[in-house]
Structure 1
Amino acid sequence: MTMHSSVILDMQGIEKSFGPVKALRNVNLHVRKGEIHAICGENGAGKSTLMNILSGVYPHGSYGGRILFGGEERRFRNLRDSEHAGICIIHQELALAPMLSITENLFLGNEKSKGGLIDWTAAHDAARVLLDRVGLSEPPETLVGDLGVGKQQLIEIAKALAKDVKLMILDEPTASLNERDSDTLLNLMLELKAKGVTSIIISHKLNEISRVADAITVIRDGSTVDVMRYAVDEVSEARIVKAMVNRELADRYPRREPKLGETMFEIRNWRVIDPSHHDREAIRSVNLKVRRGEVVGISGLMGAGRTELALSVFGRLFGRHIGGTVHLNGREIDTSTVAKSIGHGLAYVTEDRKGAGLVLGDSIARNIALANLKAVSSFGFMIDDHSVLDVARDFREKLRIRSHDVLQKVANLSGGNQQKVVLSKWLFTDPEVLILDEPTRGIDVGAKYEIYSIVNDAVAAGKCVLMISSELPELLGTCDRIYVMNEGRFVGEFTAAEATQERIMGAIMTNQALVN
């Protein structure tokens, strides 16, 4: 990859504290003009804090150290200051207004005006130019809420380009994207690099980093621990991982000797009508079996129906006119409500931990107790705070949740530790069947390993696990068997010995061609 001699960004000796907690200590970051610079580190390492300092979210005076951008020392007081200098940050949670059009989103706060009024003709024309730059052909009048997540990411990039961006920061840009949309976004980053746009990418997906990055800075425990440049250094995933977690992860997935029992969980002839399109079957005659002690994966492209299947089974949270039966240990069970599902031993760990899995403003202890309040109540209705704390402390120790104490708000935890709280909440219900929907999305390799270990412990204890994941290496590394889903139905099934990325994608694409 091309080396660039001029440094556009130089962050020197950055330090930041939140009360007694030191989040950053002497962090240095040097980004060259026209390169793609990756920042890696475990959740909680300080990556987002560093970017919030750079973008003015944490104003000058609230941190130590110096920021030089374009050769000048900068003292950003807010986000507007950094954007005025040409720095734009695109967060993992997109900052778009879904009920406004593409044009309105692109120029929100930066409207095209003439004579004090918005010049819609000029705005739409400018929007078309920007959309063309990011490879979108949608009419500028299209509501952003009508677009998929992948296209919304491209709108965010177009929005940055509208502000004459010189340095673009992308925080986990592909975390919510399928493989096709991820490819589109990464290709766009390379195209913008060729046109002189400098980018910083924060990502846990090491294969994506190796594909686009010119350099990597690794942050651990609030400090810079390694800097690698592809043109001059030996860069490998093993080196990156070791720098991130300060230990070798020779095997990314903990070893497990499967001890499979009889069929424990079964879905028969499951059919679901899409609640938004009454003439469309979202799930079509799905049959599924999971044995005691088995981890079974469900693979498929985004929109294949994987989450819809899980939600329709767990309390019928999705769909209408649901048909078919659910069986546990050979007996048909009623899962028509969440309470009944939990009562029969089902647990569902949502893919949206922040929006649906946790009460972010509440404590670790209260979040863990939420799905099984009966177990921490006296006389059936009075919650025993001491019991809540005892249970939370037990799970904090067993799952190694990193926090000051169990009274800490979950909003202040890293993504990996938030996920452990969600898992603790459901493990506290002592489930027979654990349904995991994207269980490691947006968390680092060290925390992933710990999540996989928790899964292994669950099946070793005689439970069964159904894992939905968009990451094929994750399914291949953890599952005993994998179902492949497309267009609401299963189109393939492979044992661990049979499964490969090529076979899984082949099943998806072959059957997609048949469906289309």
Structure 2
Amino acid sequence: MQIQMKGIHKSFGTNQVLSGVDFDLREGEVHALMGENGAGKSTLMNILIGLHQRDEGTITIDGQETYFTNPKEAEQKGIAFIHQELNVWPEMTVLENLFIGKEMTSKWGLLNSTKMKALANAQFAKLAVNLPLNGEAGDCSVGQQQMIEIAKALMTDAKVIVMDEPTAALTEREIQKLFEVIASLKKDGVSIVYISHRMEEIFAICDRITVMRDGKTVDTQAIPDTNFDEVVRKMVGRELTERYPVRTPALGDVVLEVKNASHKGLFENVNFSVRSGEIVGFSGLMGSGRTEIMRALFGLDTLDSGEIHVRGKKVSIRKPDDAVKLGIGFITEDRKDEGLVLDFSIRENMVLPNLFSFTSKGLISDKKELDFVNTLIKRLQIKTQSGETPVRSLSGGNQQKVVIAKWVGIGPNVLILDEPTRGVDVGAKREIYQLMNELTERGVAIIMVSSELPEILGMSDRIVVVHEGKISGELSREEATQENIMTLATGGQ
């Protein structure tokens, strides 16, 4: 299938999102679509599948002008979309999510569970995924839910698959398996639009790249004809001198110490500490227990045994409010369901954990609130017309910035960052890294969980590796290599 989109324009109210975008897709190619958050990448693809309607421009599929009225119609014609924001139904089983709207029935009209399970297991085997088909999707991790979405799209026998940040929540092993599947699809003539902020992936698997900036097409080139620095310059309109800013940490006293922490079935005998001014990176494969440890630290889950000490004093954290009062902030990996109230404005989300600081005698000071919100919007360069914009309407990366702003705003002593740059463009990533450096310079202790090994290596002062719920090793900055981390993450010594 060949697709050509020419002169595509789209506005939402007074907000011009696309201004004459050109994009074409050849049969059997992997075409990267890159740009900063808010550049219009997802909007362009949503117009292709009929989720949004264009204001101007033409779409040609296999030489014929074609416009879909809804995504179902696009899927029936062979175009599938794996969205950045997960669309699983948490109360339904994994199997029900895979076949929702496409259920298989017997000649008597009854659900053919045997056939559906066979197809599901075959697809999961290709992806090297092991999930209970009868288990609730809501019990799966973000990464596992992402694999459900990928499997669902692959089962449609699509001729074109749009992948919007498909690896954002996946581990290195799962990413490599997905790349093998992409290579196989490509051999079969399937075309893939690959939207990602991970530059290494783009240069590893893509044939061509189209760069967008501020709702316009900047350039389209063959991958061998370009390089990292050129792509970044086109994306952000400026040079990024280094991907990871230089760190010169001045470590202080131990701020947080965890002793023999356990939660049956999730993690056991976890011991680690973090000092003021330090970034401790947590690495490990998906399901290793990294996120579960952080959730227990913040009071979202309980500890069966063990102790938490803040500045040398044993504390009890039974709920998030206890953690916040101790100066602990938690940027969750699941921004959509846990990090934000999507129907609230940017302002309402930012002030939620810190509302008491804007009140006097029971009344909220609008001026204090406005100054606080505008400062954070400017500091984090959140693309919005005002603080009253609903968070739901922001791009994924700008939503992530709001989550970060929300917790930075409490003035934390300890900040837990779980996948802080998931779905965030290269320019915004550097802004987040610089913010992390600024926070540690002020004495904040940071714990960063990340599936991106370059990020772990680039920003951590120490690296703690988790394997099957246990800490398998700790590496200094000098000892840390991708090979050493992966050896520990897979149970080696």
The corresponding residue for 1:184 is: 177
Which of residues 239, 261, 284 in structure 2 aligns to 1:270?
A: 261
Q: CA RMSD in A?
A: 2.7
The corresponding residue for 1:67 is: 59
Distance 1:250 1:371 in 2: 35
Q: Deviations over 1:51-85 (max 9, x none)?
A: 000000013xx421000001110022222332232
* Residues 98 and 143, structure 1, Cα contact 8 Å, conserved in 2: no
Matching residue's letter, 2:56 = G
The corresponding residue for 1:454 is: 435
The corresponding residue for 1:471 is: 452
Q: Deviations over 1:476-495 (max 9, x none)?
A: 11111111111222111112
Distance 2:268 2:113 in 1: 46
Q: Does 1:325 align with 2:307?
A: yes
Q: Deviations over 1:399-440 (max 9, x none)?
A: 332211111112222233222222222222211111111111
Q: Does 1:11 align with 2:23?
A: no
With over 3 angstroms needed to count, the CA separation of the structure-2 counterparts of 1:138 and 1:342, relative to structure 1, is closer
What TM-score do you get using the length of structure 1 for normalisation?
A: 0.88
Instruction: Output aligned runs, 1:114-513, within 5 Å.
Output: 117-118=109-110, 120=112, 123-124=115-116, 127=119, 131=123, 134=126, 142=134, 145=137, 153=146, 156-157=149-150, 159-160=152-153, 162-230=155-223, 233-273=224-264, 280=265, 282-315=266-299, 317-321=300-304, 323-379=305-361, 381-511=362-492
Pairwise CA distance, 1:98: 5.5
The corresponding residue for 1:37 is: 31
Pairwise CA distance, 1:106: 5.0
SS of the equivalent of 2:2 reads strand
Pairwise CA distance, 1:161: 5.1
Pairwise CA distance, 1:314: 1.4
Say which structure, 1 or 2, has more relative contact order (CA 8 Å, 6+ apart). 2
The corresponding residue for 1:3 is: none
With over 3 angstroms needed to count, the CA separation of the structure-2 counterparts of 1:454 and 1:101, relative to structure 1, is closer
Distance 1:202 1:271 in 2: 39
Pairwise CA distance, 1:142: 4.7
* Residues 197 and 426, structure 2, Cα contact 8 Å, conserved in 1: yes
* Residues 133 and 158, structure 1, Cα contact 8 Å, conserved in 2: no
Pairwise CA distance, 1:23: 0.5
With over 3 angstroms needed to count, the CA separation of the structure-2 counterparts of 1:387 and 1:186, relative to structure 1, is same
Q: Deviations over 1:434-488 (max 9, x none)?
A: 1111111111111110111111111111221111111111111111111111122
Which of residues 68, 80, 92 in structure 2 aligns to 1:76?
A: 68
* Residues 150 and 182, structure 1, Cα contact 8 Å, conserved in 2: no
Q: Deviations over 1:209-266 (max 9, x none)?
A: 2222111111111111121213xx4222222222211222231012232111222222
With over 3 angstroms needed to count, the CA separation of the structure-2 counterparts of 1:491 and 1:395, relative to structure 1, is same
Distance 2:94 2:42 in 1: 27
* Residues 211 and 235, structure 2, Cα contact 8 Å, conserved in 1: yes
The corresponding residue for 1:277 is: none
SS of the equivalent of 2:174 reads helix
Distance 1:99 1:365 in 2: 31
**Runs of 5+ in structure 1 lacking a partner?**
1-6, 274-279
Aligned identity (percent) is 43
Q: Does 1:86 align with 2:68?
A: no
With over 3 angstroms needed to count, the CA separation of the structure-2 counterparts of 1:26 and 1:488, relative to structure 1, is same
**Runs of 5+ in structure 2 lacking a partner?**
none
What TM-score do you get using the length of structure 2 for normalisation?
A: 0.92
The corresponding residue for 1:58 is: 52
* Residues 104 and 116, structure 2, Cα contact 8 Å, conserved in 1: no
Distance 2:209 2:441 in 1: 38
SS of the equivalent of 1:442 reads coil
